[in-house]
Amino acid sequence: DIVMTQSPLSLSVTPGEPASISCRSSRSLLHSDGFNFLSWYLQKPGQSPQLLIYLGSNRASGVPDRFSGSASGTDFTLKISRVEAEDVGVYFCMQGLQVPVTFGQGTRLETK
Amino acid sequence: EVQLVESGGDLVQPGGSLRLSCIASGFTFSHFWMGWIRQAPRKGLEWVATMNPDGSNKYYVDSVKGRFSFSRDDAKRSLYLQMNSLRADDTAVYYCGRGNQGAYDIWGQGTMVTVSS
């Protein structure tokens, strides 16, 4: 199974400041079509997860452009350029390259 | 509106059975991979099962193989998760999700399954 390891597991950020979350996969997530099958989700308190980023760096529909995703080999990063109060919740990465699909442990973001 | 709505969650005794349903709306259901993902109380996300658009390929996490069965009815735009021999560690909120480009781009609101005597 592909193991997904996130860091940090919790993050406290002042609104208006940037934030960065890392996700490392135990093997390459590069699909034969040239895309990384890595996605990022935010689960706001009391809500279902919502897709933020797919194929490593593509923002999902309706996601603010302060969110961005990048990849370097098996290391993936989600960046928030300026954290807002509505960004609080738990962030998960997920690999969709092969079954079993696996998630990172989650990173809890709170604002100061 | 693109939407998934789950139902069927309940309190069930260990060893019991339950059938979850998920109804899709707002998109061409028969074109998409679909899946189930669960979240135990105060825990992370765990993928449970996925199925290709025509239902010919189904995949399950090892812990539910032989106990859970995933099906779809395109005419009813519905997914079903038949869960048998339920155990305490199956207790979770169960979400259905639409698969798209290696991600789950639409999630339902979830339905709670509690396995307890």
d(CA A50, CA A42): 5
pLDDT at A35: 95
d(CA B73, CA A46): 30
pLDDT at B29: 87
pLDDT per residue as tens digits for the range A22-62: 999 999 999 999 999 999 999 999 999 999 999 999 999 99
For residues A91-111, average pLDDT: 98
Judge whether A57 is closer than 8 Å to chain B, CB to CB: no
Taking CA atoms, what residue in A is nearest to B96? A48
pLDDT over 90, % of chain A: 100
Name the residue facing B107 among A49, A100, A103 (closest C-beta). Answer: A49
Are the C-beta atoms of A8 and A51 separated by less than 8 Å?
no
d(CA B21, CA B3): 14
Looking at this protein, which amino acid is placed at residue B37?
I
CB contact under 8 A, B44 and A105: yes
Task: List CB contacts of A101: < 8 A, sequence separation 6 or more.
Answer: A94, A95, B35, B47, B50
Cα separation values, A78 from A68, B5, B78, Å: 6, 29, 33
Judge whether A63 is closer than 8 Å to chain B, CB to CB: no
Q: Is B89 left (phi over 0), alpha (psi -120 to 50) or beta?
A: alpha
What is the residue-wise DSSP string for chain A? ---EEEE-SEEEE-TTS-EEEEEEESS--B-TTS-B-EEEEEE-TTS-EEEEEETTTEEPTT--TTEEEEEETTEEEEEESS--GGG-EEEEEEE-SSSSPEE---EEEEE-
pLDDT at B83: 98
Judge whether B100 is closer than 8 Å to chain A, CB to CB: yes
Residue B44: strand, helix, or coil: coil
pLDDT at B19: 98
Q: Is the pLDDT of residue B43 over 90?
A: yes
Q: Which of residues 8-47 of B touch A (CB under 8 A)?
A: 35, 37, 44-47
d(CA B115, CA A40): 30
pLDDT over 70, % of chain A: 100
Are the C-beta atoms of A58 and A35 separated by less than 8 Å?
no
pLDDT over 70, % of chain B: 100
Taking CA atoms, what residue in A is nearest to B64? A100
Name the residue facing B44 among A54, A55, A106 (closest C-beta). Answer: A106
CB contact under 8 A, A106 and B45: yes
